[in-house]
Amino acid sequence: MSGHASNTPDPKTAVLWDTEYHGHDVISTRSLGFFLYLLSDGMIFATLFAAYGVLSYQHSYFGGPTPADFVKPWYTFSQTIALFLSVLAYGMGMTALKRRSRGGLINGLLGAFVLGVLFLVLDIHDVLDLAAHGITVAASGGISAFIVLTQVHAAHIFFGLLWILVMIYQVLRLGFTADTVGRLLSLRMFWHFQAVVWVFVYIFVYLWGYMS
């Protein structure tokens, strides 16, 4: 793999210019860049988790409500189901793409959209319910960390849903071009990545918070 300099070709016969070189593969170039962006996004979550870890000690709640008081595990589990089903729907859409089925792809995207909206509705309902009980970011450092971390994930879902709508429109109007397919692949990575992040949010913020 590494060309050591001792492999230098004979200058009299060396190829100096390459007219056959067709450049980079557009789709895999896009995917790699997007995956790198996703990893940096993962770093955002890791930093938020570090902050949450620091602020999850008893004194960070300033005597006020703690997640143990208000987390409802089975309610949040329903959010988990919604999100994971949404991710599955998107995956099925991508297998339809493999079979060149535009209808199958659109169905997958729509399914992912609807289930994602369900996740968001459940999440927003939860947040509003908390706010009604005075559990907002202004309550304490610990609650700030809880709400910001969970809602940053929700914000990712929101923008992902917007993107799904855009892709439905683009596929309907432009068909399967290198660009639209490349974007669908990026969106797949994004959406599946949200499921991975959710595992951590669910286990270490909701469930662990409930236990403490």
Nearer residue to another protein within complex by CB, 107 or 144: 144
Nearer residue to another protein within complex by CB, 80 or 150: 80
100: left (phi over 0), alpha (psi -120 to 50) or beta: left
Q: How far apart are CA 90 and CA 53, in angstroms?
A: 32
Matching residue, tokens 């439905």: 168
Residue 146 contacts residue 210 (beta carbons within 8 Å): no
Matching residue, tokens 């450092």: 141
Tokens of 25: 């593969």
Residue 86 Cα to chain centre, angstroms: 12
- Residue 130 beta carbon to another protein: minimum distance, rounded to whole angstroms: 14
- Residue 113 beta carbon to another protein: minimum distance, rounded to whole angstroms: 16
Residue 188 contacts residue 96 (beta carbons within 8 Å): no
Nearer residue to another protein within complex by CB, 31 or 107: 31
Q: How far apart are CA 109 and CA 155, in angstroms?
A: 19
Q: How far apart are CA 86 and CA 112, in angstroms?
A: 4
- Residue 134 beta carbon to another protein: minimum distance, rounded to whole angstroms: 13
Nearer residue to another protein within complex by CB, 14 or 128: 14
Q: How far apart are CA 139 and CA 60, in angstroms?
A: 10
Q: How far apart are CA 117 and CA 124, in angstroms?
A: 10
- Residue 117 beta carbon to another protein: minimum distance, rounded to whole angstroms: 18
- Residue 82 beta carbon to another protein: minimum distance, rounded to whole angstroms: 11
Nearer residue to another protein within complex by CB, 65 or 120: 65
- Residue 128 beta carbon to another protein: minimum distance, rounded to whole angstroms: 15
Residue 150 Cα to chain centre, angstroms: 13
